[in-house]
Amino acid sequence: MTKVIRVEHLSKAYHLGDFGTGTISRDLERFWAKMRGKEDPFLKIGEVNDRTTKGESDVVWSLRDINFDIEQGEVTGIIGRNGAGKSTLLKILSRVTSPTTGSVKAKGRIASLLEVGTGFHPELTGRENIYLNGAVLGMRKQEIKQKFDEIVAFSGVERYIDTPVKRYSSGMYVRLAFAVAAHLESEILIVDEVLAVGDWEFQNKCLGKMNEISKNEGRTVLLVSHNMGSILGLCTRCLLLNQGSIELSGDPQLVVQRYYQQGREVKLQQLKSNADIYLKEVFSCDARDQPTTSFSHAEEIGLSMLVGVNHFDPIQNIGIALLTKDKRRVFTVNRSLKEFYTPGEKEVRVKFMIEKELIAPMDYSFLIALNTRTGIVTYDLHEDICPIKVYDNGTDFAFAEGIDYGCIILNDKWKKMN
Tens of pLDDT along the chain (418 residues)? 688 999 999 999 887 654 555 566 766 777 777 777 776 665 554 455 555 555 555 678 889 999 999 999 899 999 988 888 998 999 899 888 888 889 999 998 888 877 666 678 889 999 998 898 888 777 788 888 888 998 899 888 889 999 998 898 878 888 888 888 888 778 898 888 766 666 777 777 888 888 888 888 888 999 888 877 778 878 889 999 998 899 999 888 888 888 877 655 555 556 667 889 999 999 999 999 988 888 988 899 999 999 999 999 999 999 999 999 888 899 999 999 999 999 999 999 999 999 999 999 888 999 999 999 877 889 999 988 888 989 887 777 776 666 677 888 888 888 888 7
Q: Note the pLDDT of residue 9.
A: 92
* pLDDT value, residue 45: 46
Cα distance between residue 237 and residue 215, in whole Å: 14
Task: Identify the three-state secondary structure at position 39.
Answer: coil
Going by DSSP bridges, is the β-strand pair 378-391/347-354 parallel, antiparallel, or unpaired?
A: unpaired
Strand 75-79 with 220-224, pairing: parallel
CB 225, CB 45: distance < 8 Å? no
Concatenate the DSSP letters of all residues of 46-95 into one string: T-B--TTS--SSSEEEEEEEEEEEEETT-EEEEE-STTSSHHHHHHHHTT
Residues 6+ positions from 209 with CB-CB distance below 8 Å: 154, 178, 182
| Integer Cα distance of 252 and 362 in angstroms | 19
* Sequence-ordered alpha helix ranges (H) in 272-405: none
Q: Which domains are seen in the chain, by residue range?
A: 3-261 (3.40.50.300), 277-400 (2.70.50.60)
Tell me the C-alpha distance between 404 and 324, whole Å.
10
| Angle, alpha carbons 309-310-312 (nearest 5°) | 65
